[in-house]
Amino acid sequence: MATFHFDLVSPEKLAFAGEVDQVDVPGVEGDFGVLAGHAPVIAAVRPGILTIISGGTRQKIIVLGGLAEMSEKGLTVLANVATSIEELDRAQFAAEISEMEAKFAEKDGSEFDNAIERLDHFKSIQHELSATAMH
């Protein structure tokens, strides 16, 4: 399988840099997979789990929004936050979801809609983490 260069960058660190076979990105307009030779594209990234496939191994990284750009140089994802599943404190993540739910009463209008959308993204990450733990 042909490979391409992939960089995953967050404000804190370069989370990943290297040659990969495929990257599955949680896009705002739907998840999408990138292979070598993918057409140039710029896409918004939603909170979710980004999967890096290289040499038959899969590495899953939680991203909380950002921007993805595919060019002739490869794929670059600029993530607001990038945390490997192994580094994630699942209890803290669950507590953050509970805190988000508790604050709904303080929100209204579009602020409420945005809070619901963010909570949905976090809960889908939590669901996938639970499913991943069983495999």
Tens digits of residue pLDDT in 1-50: 799 999 999 999 999 999 999 999 999 999 999 999 999 999 999 999 99
Kindly state the average pLDDT of the residues 48-63: 94
Token digits for 114?
């945005």
Q: What is the pLDDT of residue 110?
A: 76
Q: CA-to-CA distance for 111 and 37, rounded, in angstroms? A: 40
Identify whether the C-beta of residue 62 lies closer than 8 Å to the C-beta of residue 135. Answer: no
Beta strands in 4-117 (DSSP E): 4-9, 14-20, 22-25, 32-35, 41-45, 48-54, 57-63, 66-71, 74-79, 82-84
Mean pLDDT of the chain: 87
Kindly state the average pLDDT of the residues 60-87: 92
Identify whether the C-beta of residue 36 lies closer than 8 Å to the C-beta of residue 100. Answer: no
